[in-house]
Amino acid sequence: MLRLPPFRYVAARTPREAARVLADHGPDAMAVAGGTDLYPNMKRRQFTPKVLVGLRGLEGASGIAANGTLTLGALATLSEVAGQRAIVARWPALARAASLVASPLHRNVATIGGNLCVDTRCTYYNQTEFWRASIGYCMKRDGDVCLVAPGSDKCWAVSSSDTAPVMLALDAEVTLVGVEGDRRVPVKALYGSDGIHYLTKRPEEILTEIRLPDRTGWRMTYRKLRRRGSIDFPVLGVAAAARLGQGNLVEDARIVLGAVHVAPVPASEAEDFLRGKVLDRETIEAAAGIAYQPAKPLDNTDLSYAWRKRMARIEVARALREIAGLPTGDLP
Protein backbone atom coordinates (compact mmCIF):
# COMPACT_ATOMS: atom_id res chain seq x y z
CA MET A 1 0.00 0.00 0.00
CA LEU A 2 1.25 3.49 -0.85
CA ARG A 3 1.00 5.89 2.07
CA LEU A 4 0.98 9.68 2.14
CA PRO A 5 4.16 11.30 3.44
CA PRO A 6 3.69 13.28 6.67
CA PHE A 7 2.53 16.89 6.28
CA ARG A 8 0.87 19.68 8.24
CA TYR A 9 -2.57 20.75 6.98
CA VAL A 10 -3.50 24.43 7.17
CA ALA A 11 -7.13 25.19 6.34
CA ALA A 12 -7.16 28.66 4.76
CA ARG A 13 -10.25 30.85 5.10
CA THR A 14 -9.48 33.40 2.40
CA PRO A 15 -7.48 33.22 -0.84
CA ARG A 16 -5.13 35.94 0.46
CA GLU A 17 -4.46 33.94 3.64
CA ALA A 18 -3.76 30.85 1.53
CA ALA A 19 -1.35 32.83 -0.66
CA ARG A 20 0.41 34.19 2.41
CA VAL A 21 0.95 30.74 3.96
CA LEU A 22 2.24 29.44 0.61
CA ALA A 23 4.60 32.41 0.25
CA ASP A 24 5.87 32.03 3.84
CA HIS A 25 6.78 28.36 3.32
CA GLY A 26 8.10 28.62 -0.25
CA PRO A 27 8.78 25.26 -1.95
CA ASP A 28 7.87 23.39 1.25
CA ALA A 29 4.17 24.18 0.79
CA MET A 30 1.49 23.38 -1.78
CA ALA A 31 -2.21 24.13 -2.18
CA VAL A 32 -4.77 21.34 -2.26
CA ALA A 33 -8.37 21.58 -3.46
CA GLY A 34 -10.10 18.24 -4.19
CA GLY A 35 -6.81 16.39 -3.79
CA THR A 36 -7.73 13.86 -6.52
CA ASP A 37 -4.47 14.49 -8.35
CA LEU A 38 -2.21 15.81 -5.62
CA TYR A 39 -2.75 13.05 -3.04
CA PRO A 40 -1.96 10.17 -5.44
CA ASN A 41 1.08 12.14 -6.62
CA MET A 42 2.20 12.59 -3.01
CA LYS A 43 1.80 8.87 -2.40
CA ARG A 44 4.20 8.29 -5.28
CA ARG A 45 6.54 10.94 -3.81
CA GLN A 46 6.28 13.17 -6.88
CA PHE A 47 5.56 15.87 -4.28
CA THR A 48 6.49 15.82 -0.61
CA PRO A 49 5.27 19.17 0.76
CA LYS A 50 5.73 19.70 4.49
CA VAL A 51 2.70 22.00 4.56
CA LEU A 52 -0.55 21.60 2.63
CA VAL A 53 -2.79 24.63 2.37
CA GLY A 54 -6.38 23.41 2.14
CA LEU A 55 -8.59 25.51 -0.14
CA ARG A 56 -11.91 23.74 0.48
CA GLY A 57 -13.08 26.28 3.06
CA LEU A 58 -12.24 29.42 1.06
CA GLU A 59 -14.96 32.03 1.31
CA GLY A 60 -16.77 32.84 -1.93
CA ALA A 61 -14.81 30.52 -4.22
CA SER A 62 -17.32 27.77 -4.95
CA GLY A 63 -20.38 29.30 -6.58
CA ILE A 64 -21.54 29.15 -10.20
CA ALA A 65 -23.32 32.13 -11.76
CA ALA A 66 -24.61 32.00 -15.33
CA ASN A 67 -26.04 35.28 -16.50
CA GLY A 68 -24.86 36.57 -19.87
CA THR A 69 -21.39 35.39 -18.91
CA LEU A 70 -20.45 32.37 -16.84
CA THR A 71 -18.57 32.77 -13.56
CA LEU A 72 -17.21 29.65 -11.90
CA GLY A 73 -15.75 29.62 -8.42
CA ALA A 74 -12.51 27.64 -8.61
CA LEU A 75 -13.83 25.24 -5.97
CA ALA A 76 -16.95 24.27 -7.93
CA THR A 77 -16.75 20.52 -8.45
CA LEU A 78 -16.57 18.96 -11.89
CA SER A 79 -19.91 17.22 -11.20
CA GLU A 80 -21.49 20.62 -10.56
CA VAL A 81 -19.96 22.08 -13.75
CA ALA A 82 -21.02 19.04 -15.80
CA GLY A 83 -24.56 19.02 -14.42
CA GLN A 84 -25.47 22.72 -14.24
CA ARG A 85 -28.38 23.25 -16.63
CA ALA A 86 -27.23 26.63 -17.88
CA ILE A 87 -23.75 25.29 -18.64
CA VAL A 88 -25.14 22.24 -20.45
CA ALA A 89 -27.39 24.52 -22.51
CA ARG A 90 -25.04 27.44 -23.25
CA TRP A 91 -21.45 26.20 -22.80
CA PRO A 92 -22.02 22.51 -23.65
CA ALA A 93 -18.38 21.82 -24.58
CA LEU A 94 -17.36 22.72 -21.02
CA ALA A 95 -20.08 20.53 -19.49
CA ARG A 96 -18.99 17.65 -21.70
CA ALA A 97 -15.28 18.05 -20.91
CA ALA A 98 -16.01 18.16 -17.17
CA SER A 99 -18.25 15.08 -17.46
CA LEU A 100 -15.42 13.10 -19.10
CA VAL A 101 -12.79 13.66 -16.39
CA ALA A 102 -11.78 10.54 -14.42
CA SER A 103 -14.73 8.77 -12.70
CA PRO A 104 -17.97 9.99 -11.04
CA LEU A 105 -16.38 9.63 -7.60
CA HIS A 106 -13.44 11.81 -8.64
CA ARG A 107 -15.72 14.40 -10.24
CA ASN A 108 -17.75 14.75 -7.04
CA VAL A 109 -14.62 15.96 -5.24
CA ALA A 110 -12.35 17.32 -7.99
CA THR A 111 -12.59 21.05 -8.59
CA ILE A 112 -12.56 23.07 -11.80
CA GLY A 113 -9.65 25.16 -10.46
CA GLY A 114 -7.69 21.97 -9.71
CA ASN A 115 -8.43 20.71 -13.21
CA LEU A 116 -6.92 23.84 -14.75
CA CYS A 117 -3.85 23.57 -12.49
CA VAL A 118 -3.43 19.79 -12.74
CA ASP A 119 0.14 18.52 -13.11
CA THR A 120 1.51 17.48 -16.51
CA ARG A 121 1.94 13.75 -17.08
CA CYS A 122 4.54 11.37 -18.48
CA THR A 123 4.99 7.60 -18.54
CA TYR A 124 8.39 7.99 -16.87
CA TYR A 125 7.08 10.26 -14.12
CA ASN A 126 3.62 9.02 -13.08
CA GLN A 127 5.12 5.99 -11.38
CA THR A 128 5.95 4.97 -7.84
CA GLU A 129 9.11 6.23 -6.18
CA PHE A 130 10.50 2.66 -6.38
CA TRP A 131 9.87 2.49 -10.15
CA ARG A 132 11.37 5.91 -10.79
CA ALA A 133 14.44 5.11 -8.64
CA SER A 134 15.01 1.92 -10.65
CA ILE A 135 15.44 3.92 -13.87
CA GLY A 136 17.49 6.69 -12.25
CA TYR A 137 14.68 9.27 -12.12
CA CYS A 138 14.19 12.03 -14.71
CA MET A 139 14.46 15.81 -14.91
CA LYS A 140 10.92 16.49 -13.70
CA ARG A 141 11.72 15.05 -10.28
CA ASP A 142 15.03 13.98 -8.70
CA GLY A 143 16.97 13.41 -11.97
CA ASP A 144 18.91 15.35 -14.61
CA VAL A 145 17.87 13.88 -17.94
CA CYS A 146 14.65 13.74 -19.92
CA LEU A 147 14.16 10.04 -20.64
CA VAL A 148 11.83 10.74 -23.57
CA ALA A 149 14.10 13.24 -25.29
CA PRO A 150 17.57 12.78 -23.70
CA GLY A 151 19.09 15.61 -25.74
CA SER A 152 16.45 18.09 -24.57
CA ASP A 153 17.04 20.66 -21.86
CA LYS A 154 13.33 20.81 -21.06
CA CYS A 155 10.62 18.47 -19.86
CA TRP A 156 7.92 17.38 -22.33
CA ALA A 157 5.38 16.04 -19.85
CA VAL A 158 1.90 16.35 -21.31
CA SER A 159 -0.85 18.80 -20.39
CA SER A 160 -3.65 16.37 -19.47
CA SER A 161 -6.52 18.58 -18.34
CA ASP A 162 -9.79 17.97 -20.14
CA THR A 163 -11.30 21.37 -19.43
CA ALA A 164 -8.23 23.49 -20.25
CA PRO A 165 -8.56 23.21 -24.08
CA VAL A 166 -12.24 24.18 -23.80
CA MET A 167 -11.41 27.17 -21.62
CA LEU A 168 -8.91 28.35 -24.23
CA ALA A 169 -11.39 27.79 -27.06
CA LEU A 170 -14.02 29.83 -25.24
CA ASP A 171 -11.63 32.67 -24.31
CA ALA A 172 -11.97 32.19 -20.56
CA GLU A 173 -10.13 34.36 -18.04
CA VAL A 174 -8.99 33.45 -14.53
CA THR A 175 -8.53 35.50 -11.38
CA LEU A 176 -5.32 34.88 -9.48
CA VAL A 177 -4.98 36.09 -5.91
CA GLY A 178 -1.48 36.69 -4.54
CA VAL A 179 -0.06 38.19 -1.38
CA GLU A 180 0.01 41.71 -2.78
CA GLY A 181 -3.12 41.76 -4.91
CA ASP A 182 -5.30 40.14 -7.55
CA ARG A 183 -4.93 39.93 -11.30
CA ARG A 184 -7.02 38.65 -14.15
CA VAL A 185 -5.34 36.77 -17.01
CA PRO A 186 -6.60 34.94 -20.08
CA VAL A 187 -6.47 31.17 -19.53
CA LYS A 188 -4.21 31.02 -22.56
CA ALA A 189 -1.57 32.96 -20.60
CA LEU A 190 -1.81 30.58 -17.64
CA TYR A 191 0.17 27.83 -19.38
CA GLY A 192 3.93 27.75 -19.94
CA SER A 193 6.17 25.94 -22.40
CA ASP A 194 7.82 23.40 -20.10
CA GLY A 195 6.39 20.27 -18.46
CA ILE A 196 7.96 21.19 -15.12
CA HIS A 197 7.00 24.87 -14.95
CA TYR A 198 3.75 24.25 -16.76
CA LEU A 199 1.91 27.16 -15.12
CA THR A 200 3.01 30.77 -15.50
CA LYS A 201 1.39 31.90 -12.25
CA ARG A 202 3.52 32.52 -9.20
CA PRO A 203 3.63 29.44 -6.89
CA GLU A 204 1.73 31.21 -4.11
CA GLU A 205 -1.05 32.57 -6.33
CA ILE A 206 -4.48 31.03 -5.82
CA LEU A 207 -6.84 30.63 -8.75
CA THR A 208 -10.18 31.79 -7.37
CA GLU A 209 -12.50 32.37 -10.32
CA ILE A 210 -12.95 31.54 -13.99
CA ARG A 211 -15.02 33.73 -16.29
CA LEU A 212 -16.33 32.73 -19.69
CA PRO A 213 -17.86 35.20 -22.13
CA ASP A 214 -21.38 34.83 -23.46
CA ARG A 215 -21.28 32.39 -26.36
CA THR A 216 -24.87 32.78 -27.55
CA GLY A 217 -24.96 31.93 -31.25
CA TRP A 218 -21.88 29.69 -31.07
CA ARG A 219 -21.86 25.94 -31.53
CA MET A 220 -19.20 24.00 -29.67
CA THR A 221 -17.98 20.57 -28.69
CA TYR A 222 -15.24 18.67 -26.90
CA ARG A 223 -14.01 15.28 -28.03
CA LYS A 224 -11.74 13.05 -25.97
CA LEU A 225 -9.62 10.08 -26.96
CA ARG A 226 -8.53 7.62 -24.26
CA ARG A 227 -7.97 3.92 -23.86
CA ARG A 228 -10.80 3.19 -21.39
CA GLY A 229 -14.08 5.02 -21.81
CA SER A 230 -14.93 4.67 -18.12
CA ILE A 231 -11.85 6.30 -16.57
CA ASP A 232 -8.72 7.60 -18.24
CA PHE A 233 -6.75 10.74 -18.84
CA PRO A 234 -6.99 12.06 -22.41
CA VAL A 235 -4.35 11.02 -24.94
CA LEU A 236 -5.99 13.61 -27.19
CA GLY A 237 -8.61 16.28 -26.55
CA VAL A 238 -10.19 18.48 -29.20
CA ALA A 239 -12.16 21.57 -28.23
CA ALA A 240 -13.90 23.30 -31.13
CA ALA A 241 -16.31 26.23 -31.31
CA ALA A 242 -17.71 28.24 -34.19
CA ARG A 243 -20.16 31.04 -34.82
CA LEU A 244 -22.03 30.18 -37.99
CA GLY A 245 -24.09 32.56 -40.14
CA GLN A 246 -26.53 31.90 -42.98
CA GLY A 247 -25.83 28.64 -44.81
CA ASN A 248 -23.22 27.56 -42.21
CA LEU A 249 -20.86 30.40 -43.16
CA VAL A 250 -18.10 30.50 -40.53
CA GLU A 251 -18.01 33.95 -38.92
CA ASP A 252 -15.53 32.93 -36.24
CA ALA A 253 -13.90 29.69 -35.11
CA ARG A 254 -11.74 28.19 -32.39
CA ILE A 255 -9.91 24.86 -32.31
CA VAL A 256 -7.66 23.86 -29.41
CA LEU A 257 -5.85 20.54 -29.03
CA GLY A 258 -5.25 18.98 -25.62
CA ALA A 259 -2.83 16.24 -24.45
CA VAL A 260 -0.46 16.66 -27.40
CA HIS A 261 2.06 19.05 -25.86
CA VAL A 262 3.10 20.58 -22.52
CA ALA A 263 0.18 23.04 -22.81
CA PRO A 264 -3.09 23.16 -24.76
CA VAL A 265 -2.33 24.04 -28.39
CA PRO A 266 -4.51 26.49 -30.34
CA ALA A 267 -4.79 25.53 -34.03
CA SER A 268 -4.67 29.17 -35.10
CA GLU A 269 -3.95 28.57 -38.80
CA ALA A 270 -6.97 26.30 -39.12
CA GLU A 271 -9.11 28.91 -37.36
CA ASP A 272 -7.95 31.55 -39.88
CA PHE A 273 -8.61 29.15 -42.74
CA LEU A 274 -12.18 28.52 -41.58
CA ARG A 275 -13.26 32.15 -41.23
CA GLY A 276 -15.40 33.23 -44.19
CA LYS A 277 -15.88 29.69 -45.54
CA VAL A 278 -18.96 27.50 -45.62
CA LEU A 279 -18.57 24.67 -43.11
CA ASP A 280 -19.14 21.80 -45.54
CA ARG A 281 -17.37 18.43 -45.85
CA GLU A 282 -14.63 19.77 -48.10
CA THR A 283 -13.81 22.74 -45.86
CA ILE A 284 -13.85 20.50 -42.79
CA GLU A 285 -11.38 18.01 -44.28
CA ALA A 286 -9.06 20.83 -45.36
CA ALA A 287 -9.27 22.55 -41.95
CA ALA A 288 -8.55 19.28 -40.12
CA GLY A 289 -5.50 18.79 -42.34
CA ILE A 290 -4.17 22.13 -41.11
CA ALA A 291 -5.34 21.86 -37.48
CA TYR A 292 -3.54 18.64 -36.56
CA GLN A 293 -0.12 19.88 -37.64
CA PRO A 294 0.86 21.73 -34.41
CA ALA A 295 0.13 18.55 -32.38
CA LYS A 296 3.46 17.30 -30.99
CA PRO A 297 2.71 14.03 -29.21
CA LEU A 298 5.78 12.19 -27.92
CA ASP A 299 6.28 8.64 -26.73
CA ASN A 300 5.41 9.49 -23.12
CA THR A 301 1.72 8.68 -22.71
CA ASP A 302 -0.56 5.76 -23.37
CA LEU A 303 -0.90 4.58 -27.01
CA SER A 304 1.40 5.23 -29.96
CA TYR A 305 2.37 8.83 -30.59
CA ALA A 306 2.20 8.46 -34.37
CA TRP A 307 -1.37 7.16 -34.07
CA ARG A 308 -2.30 9.98 -31.67
CA LYS A 309 -1.02 12.52 -34.20
CA ARG A 310 -3.10 10.90 -36.97
CA MET A 311 -6.13 10.81 -34.70
CA ALA A 312 -5.80 14.54 -34.06
CA ARG A 313 -6.72 15.14 -37.71
CA ILE A 314 -9.62 12.67 -37.55
CA GLU A 315 -10.99 14.02 -34.26
CA VAL A 316 -10.82 17.65 -35.44
CA ALA A 317 -12.80 16.65 -38.52
CA ARG A 318 -15.35 14.86 -36.33
CA ALA A 319 -15.63 17.86 -34.03
CA LEU A 320 -16.23 20.21 -36.96
CA ARG A 321 -18.80 17.83 -38.44
CA GLU A 322 -20.61 17.80 -35.09
CA ILE A 323 -20.67 21.60 -35.17
CA ALA A 324 -21.90 21.64 -38.79
CA GLY A 325 -24.67 19.15 -37.96
CA LEU A 326 -23.18 16.47 -40.23
CA PRO A 327 -22.74 12.77 -39.30
CA THR A 328 -19.49 12.47 -37.35
CA GLY A 329 -18.49 9.00 -38.53
CA ASP A 330 -18.29 7.73 -34.93
CA LEU A 331 -18.99 4.06 -34.37
CA PRO A 332 -22.42 3.59 -32.76
Ligand X SMILES: Cc1cc2nc3c(=O)[nH]c(=O)nc-3n(C[C@H](O)[C@H](O)[C@H](O)COP(=O)(O)OP(=O)(O)OC[C@H]3O[C@@H](n4cnc5c(N)ncnc54)[C@H](O)[C@@H]3O)c2cc1C
Which residues contact ligand SF4 by CB under 6 A?
122, 124-125, 138-140, 146-148, 155-157, 195, 300
Q: Toward ligand X, which CB reaches closer, 55 or 87?
A: 55
The site for ligand X (CB under 6 A) is made up of 30-38, 40, 55, 74, 78, 101-102, 106, 110-111, 113-115, 117-119, 160-162, 206-207, 231-233
With contact defined as beta carbons under 8 Å apart, do 4 and 46 qualify? no
* Residue 22 touches which member of ligand SF4, ligand X, none, C-beta under 5-8 Å by kind: none
Q: Which residue is nearest to ligand X (CB)?
A: 114
* Residue 21 touches which member of ligand SF4, ligand X, none, C-beta under 5-8 Å by kind: none
- Within 8 A by CB and 6+ apart from 123, the residues are 148, 299, 300, 301, 302
Q: Toward ligand SF4, which CB reaches closer, 98 or 155?
A: 155
Q: Toward ligand X, which CB reaches closer, 132 or 321?
A: 132
* Residue 239 touches which member of ligand SF4, ligand X, none, C-beta under 5-8 Å by kind: none
Shortest Cβ 42–ligand X spacing (Å): 9
Decide: helix, strand or coil at residue 19.
Answer: helix
Shortest Cβ 158–ligand SF4 spacing (Å): 8
Q: Toward ligand X, which CB reaches closer, 145 or 231?
A: 231
SS3 content of the chain, % helix, strand, coil (to 5): 35, 25, 45
* Residue 125 touches which member of ligand SF4, ligand X, none, C-beta under 5-8 Å by kind: ligand SF4
* Residue 140 touches which member of ligand SF4, ligand X, none, C-beta under 5-8 Å by kind: ligand SF4
Shortest Cβ 41–ligand X spacing (Å): 8
Shortest Cβ 145–ligand SF4 spacing (Å): 7
Spatial CA neighbour of 119 closest among 223, 36, 175, 5: 36
Please give the single-letter amino acid code of residue 109: V
Per-residue DSSP letter, 143: -
What crossing angle do the helices spanning 281-291 and 305-324 adopt, rounded to 10°?
Answer: 150
Shortest Cβ 290–ligand X spacing (Å): 26
* Residue 124 touches which member of ligand SF4, ligand X, none, C-beta under 5-8 Å by kind: ligand SF4
Spatial CA neighbour of 169 closest among 323, 286, 324, 325: 323
Shortest Cβ 331–ligand X spacing (Å): 21
Show the DSSP H helices in the chain as ranges. 15-25, 38-43, 78-83, 85-90, 92-99, 104-109, 112-116, 129-134, 163-169, 268-274, 281-291, 305-324
